[in-house]
Amino acid sequence: MADPWKPSVTVAAVIERDGSFLLVEEETAEGIRLNQPAGHLDPAESLLAAAARETLEETAFDFTPTQLIGVYLWRNERTDADAATYLRFAFCGELGEHDPARALDHGILRAVWLTREEIAERAAQHRSPLVQRCVDDYLKGVRYPLDLLFTHPSAAAR
Q: Each residue of 32-70: pLDDT tens digit?
A: 999 999 999 999 999 999 999 999 999 999 999 999 999
Q: What percent of the chain stands above pLDDT 70? A: 94
Integer Cα distance of 81 and 78 in angstroms: 9
User: For the ranges 26-30, 108-112, 115-119, 138-142, which has the lowest average pLDDT?
Assistant: 26-30
Integer Cα distance of 64 and 52 in angstroms: 6
| Per-residue pLDDT, 36 | 98
| Per-residue pLDDT, 30 | 87
| Per-residue pLDDT, 79 | 59
Residue 158 confidence class, pLDDT cut points 50, 70, 90:
low
Burial class of residue 106, CB neighbours in 10 A (0-12, 13-18, 19+): exposed
Q: Which one has a higher pLDDT value, 37 or 77?
A: 37
| Per-residue pLDDT, 2 | 65
* DSSP state letters, 108-139: EEEEEEE-HHHHHHTGGGBSSTHHHHHHHHHH
